[in-house]
Amino acid sequence: MKKPKIPEEDVLMRITWHARNSVQHLEREYLDLRIRLRDTEADLRSDSQNQTLKERVDYLKSRLKDLESRYSWISTGRSTEIPSWINYVG
């Protein structure tokens, strides 16, 4: 059985950059949804009978739940792509 080779530092940096770059749009969307949900819930507290705000809160919660179910690491802050470097064979 062949042991996996540990990549050189420049290869690790390239892998890191690609991993971060591939998930940044998801992290940005997740943060944007959380900010919009926070603001909408604050507006809803001041106008609790507004049906449009209730629907928007429900939609934002469902989008967040969808992202969290598909990408479980997004709500924990720990990316799962990083440990996959260990399996890298150069």
The domain segmentation of the chain, as residue ranges, is: 26-77
Helical packing angle, 9-46 and 51-70, nearest 10°:
160
pLDDT tens column, 29-51: 999 999 999 999 999 999 999 99
pLDDT tens column, 52-70: 999 999 999 999 999 999 9
Confirm whether pTM is higher than 0.85.
Answer: no
Structure tokens at 41: 């819930």
Residues 6+ apart with CB under 8 A from 76: none
Q: Identify the DSSP state of 77.
A: T
